[in-house]
Amino acid sequence: MKKLLLLFMVVFCSCQSDKKENSSPKLQSNPEENIPLQPYFTDIKINDVKLGEPTFGEWLDTHKEKGQSFKQFLRTPHIVPSKEENVIYLKPIGKFDSLQVRQIELVRQYLQVFFQLETKVLENVSNDIIPNKARRIGDVGQEQFLAGYILTDVLKEEKTHKGIALMAITEKDLYPKPEWNYVFGLASYRDKIAVSSIYRMQQEADFNLCLDRLLKICSHEIGHMFGLHHCINANCVMNGTNSMPETDRHSIRLCSLCQRKLNSGFKYDNKKRLVELEKYFQENNLTEGIGLMKKDLKSVQ
C-alpha cells in the first residue's frame, strides 16, 4: 500500500486590504495622463534596481501580480491631500517601553518627510480596549490581536482633525483571520485606516534594524491608502513581502514610478523631499537610506 505524504506550506503575508490589489474601475480620462514626464523622474530612474526572478516562497512567487502603471494609478480612485484632510495620525495601542516610544516618534518624523504631510501621534491607549473575542495565543505562546477588530471597532470610531490617514501601532502580534499565523499590518484603504505591529520588527534586531523595518512597513501601508499598489517595477518599499527576511531585502526607497504616482496628487517639491530624507537617515544612522538618497540627489543635480 502506497503512502502519500502531503506537505502543506503556510504562506505569510505582510499586508492585506479590503479590496483586490489589481482592481481598476473604468473612469473618465484624467488630465494628468497628458502631462509630460518631469525630468526629475527620468533622472532618478537610473537608480531603480530591477527585481530578479522570485525565489521559492517570496511574495511574487506566491502572488502573480501584474503591477500598476501610472495611467492605471490615475484611473483608480484614491485619496489626495486637501485643505480639509491633510494630516496623518498614528495611534499607539499597548504598553511600550522607552525605546519603542522613541521609535514611534521617529516613525512620525519619517512619515512627515516621506509623504510631505504633517504627522501627529495621538494619545496612547491601553490594550484593555481589545476584548477577549479579538485575542488569541499564537504558535509560540505570544498573545495576538485580531487586526480587523482594531480597524473596525477601534480606528473607525476615532475622530481626528483634518485626518487623511490613521494608523494604529501595537506592541502585540497581529493575525488577520483564524487560519492565518500572523500579519505585519492590515489596512482598509476605503476607510483610510491601518494597523501595524512592532512585535515581529524587533525580533533578532537592534534598535536601528527594528526602526528600519517599521519605516518600511508603515510607509508601505500608508502608501496603499494613497492608491499605490504593490510594485513590480523595481526594488521598492511598495514591493509585497511574505516574511521579515524578504522585507529586509527590500529597499526603503520608492522607485521612480511610485514616486511619480505619489507626487501626481501631492505636488510637493521632489528635491526638497530627497534632501530632508537624506538628513533624516543621517541623523538616525540608517546607512542604506543615506546611500539611496545620495544617489538620487546626485542624479538630479
Residue 35 has a pLDDT of 61
Residue 192 has a pLDDT of 92
Known active-site residue 157: no
Residue 15 has a pLDDT of 55
Q: What is the pLDDT of residues 127-162, one digit of tens each?
A: 999 999 999 999 999 999 999 999 999 999 898 999
Residue 7 has a pLDDT of 26
Residue 30 has a pLDDT of 52
Is-contact 150 195, C-beta < 8 A? yes
27: exposed, middle or buried (Cβ count in 10 Å: 0-12, 13-18, 19+)? exposed
Q: Please identify which residue in the block is written with the cell numbers 523622474.
A: 41
Alpha-carbon separation of residue 80 from 2, 60, 117, 122, 298 (angstroms) = 60, 28, 11, 22, 29
Is-contact 118 88, C-beta < 8 A? yes
The ranges assigned to domains in the chain are 36-78+227-301, 81-226
Q: What is the pLDDT of residues 60-112, one digit of tens each?
A: 999 989 999 999 999 988 899 999 999 999 999 999 999 999 999 999 999 99
Residue 25 has a pLDDT of 35
Q: Which residues of the chain have pLDDT under 70?
A: 1-36
Pick the CATH number of 81-226 from 3.40.228.10, 3.40.390.10, 3.40.50.150, 3.30.465.10: 3.40.390.10
Task: Pick the catalytic residue from 221, 246, 276, 278.
Answer: 221
Alpha-carbon separation of residue 50 from 13, 181, 208, 239, 250 (angstroms) = 22, 31, 26, 12, 11
Phi, psi (deg, nearest 5) at residue 214: -60, -40
